[in-house]
Structure 1
Amino acid sequence: MDGFAITVAGMNGVKQLLREIGYALRLLAITIMLTIALPGSAQVSIDTVEVDQPIILADAKFKFDMPDELQSELPQDTARITPNPKSKRNGWLDLGFLGPVFQILFYGIMAAAVLYILYLILSAILMTRRNHAPRQDDEDKPEVPSYQPDVETARVILHDADKLAAQGKFGEAVHAILFRSIQDIEDKRPHHVKRSLTSREIAGLSVLSPTARAGFSTIGNLVERSFFGGRTLGADDYEISKSAYKEFAFEKITRRKLRR
């Protein structure tokens, strides 16, 4: 299950990486489009066009015969073609002089996008290695031994509970077993039992052995029925809770007897 969880986390990291790279590539594409759309430099207009008429007349295509009395040469004058006036309609949109600025901006954004993509790739690699690395925090934590009441304390608790049961106070006897057991856990394993915990939550504490958890669950269910269900506990309920307590209170003694 741990390997499957790591695999799923790795796949999620790859998906996130691809998503971030996609965003960076889109930004880069938009920057390229804007750079192409804007003029790179001011466009130069041709103001004048000079035409040399003697050169044109010397061309064979333009030769023709004329009488001698007629003028065979045109005055050596340079004709000028009147340039069209520059249109001022989009003068405020002419950003040609900003071409170098946009060029620098384009390369800067492109370099930043490449660095960002490299950062995402390196982050994904480091995250993958960190997920596969063994967790030393859990290994360094000292292992807390399971709670086990000592024999003398267990006998005192059962003796006091038997006194209450002999008086017909079976509900109080069951409550005494539960509450005094919880107090004993707090004495032997401090800071594990909080006041806000319910009996079911106490039964799930990590300091309890599986047998102790089962016993606390049985006793806790009887107490909840008495407190919240309005049920009066009888002799049978007391015997059930007493047997459940004995199973984990004298668990070590029972194991020793079975080994012999």
Structure 2
Amino acid sequence: MTVAQPGTADAEWLARMHKQLLADDSIQFDLPALVQPEPPAWLKPLLEALAKLGPYMIYLFWGAVIIGVAIIAFLLVLEAKGVAWRLPWRRARKEAETQEEWRPDAGAAQILLSEADALAARGEYDEAVHLLLRRSVADIATRLPDFLRPSLTARDIAAASSIPTRPRTAFSEIARIVEAALFARRPVGAEGWQQARGAYERFAFRDAWA
């Protein structure tokens, strides 16, 4: 079977159109070679580091998976033991709530301070501070009945981590003043009394805790 050949006129017309097309400067036939853009200088160290880590990425991936599984298992163990794990900001809020629970009854604290003020007004500063210390120990005993033992000193109580920060700090200040009066034979005086009174207020009253 013979394939029909295009006519001479058609071939000449196509050749002429092709020549005109090539002669048209508005059409670009020779495209420039693609030039890979250079990354900025600040990015080069990162790209080089990633290129070096490339062969080890699979190990990094599985390492992250193992660490994640270990953390989840650790949290499950804590939960099974009844230990509540909290984020740092939630721990801070919980500690604030715990300290709130440690405040003695405001009415009872006010009565105590009135009695201590009466002693201080008569110049019996040592007795007034001792009264605050005894009441503070009683407050701690109420909240931690298994903690206090006869062998514990005021310094031992002040160093106990089981007591929240604010009550422990207030108690430490009162205990320090009492110890100075007992062992260093340093009279409490009006200044020492005011310090001890302020410490107990920080422990007892809401406004002082703001």
TM-score (norm 1): 0.42
Q: Give yes or no for contact 2:201–2:208 (8 Å, CA) kept in 1.
A: no
Given the alignment, which residue of 169, 177, 202 partners 2:132?
177
Write the distance in 1 (CA, Å) between the matches of 2:202 and 2:172: 13
Does residue 202 (structure 1) correspond to residue 128 (structure 2)? The answer is: no
Tell me the CA shift for residue 207 of structure 1: 4.4
Aligned pair in 2 of structure 1 residues 221, 141: CA closer, same or farther (>3 Å)? same
SS of 1:193 mapped into structure 2: coil
Matching residue's letter, 1:220: A
Larger Rg: 1
Who is 1:67 aligned against?
none
Q: Of 188, 192, 197, which aligns to 1:233?
A: 188
Residue number in structure 2 paired with 1:136: 78
Aligned to 2:104, the other structure's residue is in SS state coil
% identical equivalent positions: 34
Counterparts of residues 1-260 of structure 1 (less than 5 Å) = 133=74, 136=78, 140=82, 145-146=98-99, 147-250=102-205, 252-254=206-208
Instruction: Tell me: CA distance 1:153–1:218, structure 2 relative to 1, closer, same or farther (3 Å).
Output: same
| Structure 1: gaps spanning 5 or more residues | 1-128
Kindly provide the amino acid, as one letter, of the partner of residue 137 in structure 2.
Answer: I
* Greater share of residues in helix: 2
SS of the aligned residue for 1:195 comes to coil
Q: Which amino acid aligns with 2:187?
A: T
CA-CA distance at 1:138 after TM superposition: 9.4
Unaligned runs of 5+ in 2: 1-69, 85-93
Q: Distance in 1 between matches of 2:115 and 2:162?
A: 25
Count of matched residue positions in the alignment of Structure 1 and Structure 2: 125
* Structure 2: distance between partners of 1:220 and 1:137: 38
Work out whether residues 129 and 193 of structure 2, in 8 Å CA contact, stay in contact via their aligned partners in 1: yes
Separation in 2 of the partners of 1:140 and 1:184? 27
Query: Residues 139, 246 of structure 1: CA spacing in aligned structure 2 closer, same or farther, 3 A cutoff?
Result: farther
Residues 125, 193 of structure 2: 8 Å contact kept: yes
Distance 1:224 1:136 in 2: 41
Amino acid aligned to 2:173: T
What is the alpha-carbon root mean square deviation over aligned residues? 2.8
Paired position in structure 1 for 2:8: none
Instruction: Please say if residues 125 and 189 of structure 2, whose CA atoms lie closer than 8 Å, have aligned partners that are also in contact.
Output: yes
1:45: which partner in 2?
A: none
